[in-house]
Amino acid sequence: MKKNDSGKVMREELFTILRSPHVSEKATRLADKHRQFVFEVALPSNKETIKQAVEMLFEVKVAHVRVVNVKPKQKRFGTMMGQRKKWKKAYVTLQEGHDINFAGNQ
């Protein structure tokens, strides 16, 4: 990742860190109860760059970030064995009074 003189990741790089929000029953429950949001993130990213990306893109304050490396699942393709790609998941907890609305204003 490219960094500027102050050691922060460049603004253009922050747009590539967050891949997509991870939507599941668990993620919805965490968002409603604990203000935790789950994102699929780029493999080379770390907690600090994920925090910077969320704060810049959604204009919120992040309390802390937890990162999970999801191992690839083994799959069978006929007689051939293969596996899915590995990916990284980030649990982002927001500070009190901040929220992310993916549905937009309605």
Q: How far is CA 72 from CA 3, 15, 75, in A?
A: 30, 25, 9
Residue 46 CA, distance from chain mean position = 10
Q: What digits encode the pLDDT tens for the residues 21-43? A: 999 999 999 999 999 999 999 99
CA distance 15 to 49: 10
pLDDT score of 8: 64
Q: pLDDT: is 104 or 40 the higher one?
A: 40
Name 11's Cβ contacts closer than 8 Å, sequence gap at least 6: 56
Query: Which residue has 């959604």 as its token pair?
Result: 58
- Res 106 pLDDT > 60: no
- pTM attached to this predicted model: 0.83
- What top-level class would CATH report for the domain 11-94? alpha beta
Q: What digits encode the pLDDT tens for the residues 55-85? A: 999 999 999 999 999 999 999 999 999 999 9
